[in-house]
Each structure stands twice: as C-alpha cells, then as structure tokens.
Amino acid sequence: MMDPCGEHFTIVAGAARAAVSEVGAGLRYFAVGDTLYTEPVPDGARPPRGSGALLAPWPNRVKGGRWTWEGRTQQLALTEPAAGNAIHGLLRQSFWVPSDQTDAAVTLTATVPPQNGWPEPVTVAVTYRVGDDGLTVETTATNEGSGPIPFGLGFHPYLRIGDTPTDDCTLTLGARAALPLTDQLPSGPLEPLGSREFRLRDTELDSAFGDCEPEDGLVRHRLTASDGSGVELWADPAFGWVQVFTPHDMPGRGARGGDPQPGRGVAVEPMTCPPDALNSGTDLVHLAPGESWTGRWGITPR
C-alpha cells in the first residue's frame, strides 16, 4: 500500500538528518543526533495539522477563494470548506519530481498548472540541505506563462527541542507587530507588539505577525527551553510575516514531551506575505513571464 506522502527522501550530513515527502515536498522531520527539532510526520499518515507543508503559490488563506487579477475575477476551489476559503496554495497534494539528490541535499520540482482561479503556470523548485549549520531550505519560483502572475510562499514547520514539552518553552519572534484576525482573515492594520516573547504555557496562539526585523541580515524566531537549549528558525528578509499556531493534538507530544499521546505543538510558519494577500496585494512577489524569484529559510539548533 502506498504511503499517503509518497516516497520519503532522507538526507544526512554528519549527525544532522532530515526527510522530505514526495507528495507536497513537505519536511517530514529534522534532527541532529537523537534530538528532534521539528515534529515528525508519522509513517503511513498524512501530515497532521499541515506539519512541514510547503505553501505555494500563496500561503495562508484567500477569503472566499475569490480574488482579482488583471481585471478578471478568479475563483479558487474552497479547500477550507468549513470556513469557505482557499488555503495554503495549490501544491500540497501534488507529486513532486526529484531533480537532484546527494547524500546531504535533495531538490524537488512541481508546476502549478493554469486552472480555475489560477491563470498562469508557475514552476516551484525546492532544495532541502543539511549540514553543520542545520537545515537550509531554498525555493525558486518561475513564471512559465505568457502573462504576469503574483506569488507568495510559506512553510508550516512545527518546532520542538527534543522531548522538552512545548509548555516549558518560550517563543521569541522576530516580528514587531501583530495582524488582527477575524475568522483567520485580516480585520485591521498591524498593531505593535508590547513584547516579542511568549511563554507558551500561558499563551494560546493561532495568530499572524508582521513587520519582521532582520537581525544580522536574517529574520530570526527562537524557541528556548528553561535550561537554555533551543532552536532558531531563520529566514531571508523577504519572509516578513509569520503565523504561529499552538494546537493541542500533535501526535507524540503528551505531557512529558515524548509521551506517545497527543499533546501541544507550536508551528512557526515563515511567510512572504500575510493572509489574504491575493486580495490585499501586500508583499506579493510579481513575476513577469520567464522571471524567477528565490528565497531561503532554515532551522539551526542553539
């Protein structure tokens, strides 16, 4: 029987290792030695809560699946049917083709074809690489069509620090503002954050943040345990937005962190644009025919 995520591509460099799924080109896990730094996708299962997903050609939601481009109304399939929205792009269920693989890196490629709600083809190539500095993910989008097209990119990793319970961690964001949401869609302008630190034991989040401030040239979000150990998600300045989600039903995250029962996770989702950007136009990349755009992010143990 076929795994719902298709083939698994494992990459290794020294003690660092990761795996990537053929379906959706999502990150299955990233670990160094025996320590997991992202939530693993269970074998034989679909990624829980979008774990590790690549979100293109837009991240997050499009209100009602409807947007306008070049004067024409576009209607996407409502892939979040309960809320009546289109969510997280068009490639999560696609088979991606491995175009290059070494021991330490794998590149997968897929094309968004023209379809209802999406007028031009866009090819997306993503390379996952592990090394002494952790995990690096580089994505290139190319407009293969005859007209211009907008583009947005996001990823959906859940961070962890080995078996440390999520509630025993503090999340420090590189963002300086929160985006008010109603039903997970923007409902007002950015509001300055009083603090960038969130003690997760005291905080429930399904929230969007923006105005990410680069530090040494990169946007940096950090998850830290009480003993000072931690993990950093870094990204190019183009990833000026981040969604944070703290569900209580992640597999294998029970009260003791490594408990096999479901428990709390924390998704830290770097995004190049905010929710409903196809309607607002905020921070969309505009690709002319034949034009490409590249962005990078990664995960580094601290």
pLDDT score, position 252: 80
Mean pLDDT (whole number) for 18-29: 98
CA distance 138 to 245: 23
- pLDDT tens-digit series, residues 234-249: 999 999 999 999 999 9
pLDDT score, position 146: 97
Mean pLDDT (whole number) for 248-262: 74
Task: State the pLDDT confidence band at 33, using cuts at 50, 70 and 90.
Answer: very high
Task: State the pLDDT confidence band at 255, using cuts at 50, 70 and 90.
Answer: low
Mean pLDDT (whole number) for 221-242: 97
Task: State the pLDDT confidence band at 257, using cuts at 50, 70 and 90.
Answer: low
Residue 281: is its pLDDT beyond 80?
A: yes
Whether 137 and 130 have beta carbons less than 8 Å apart is answered as no
Nearest to 174 by CA among 248, 241, 77, 254: 241
Q: How many CB atoms lie within 10 A of CB 227?
A: 9
pLDDT score, position 165: 94
pLDDT score, position 128: 98
Mean pLDDT (whole number) for 187-209: 96
Least confident of 41-55, 160-174, 244-258: 244-258
For the chain, the average pLDDT equals 96
Decide the pairing of beta strands 181-182 and 185-186: antiparallel
Query: Global pTM?
Result: 0.96
Whether 212 and 174 have beta carbons less than 8 Å apart is answered as yes
89 burial (CB, 10 Å; 0-12 / 13-18 / 19+) is: buried
- pLDDT tens-digit series, residues 60-91: 999 999 999 999 999 999 999 999 999 999 99
pLDDT score, position 254: 65
Mean pLDDT (whole number) for 193-199: 96
Whether 293 and 285 have beta carbons less than 8 Å apart is answered as yes
In the chain, what are the domains? 8-301 (2.70.98.10)
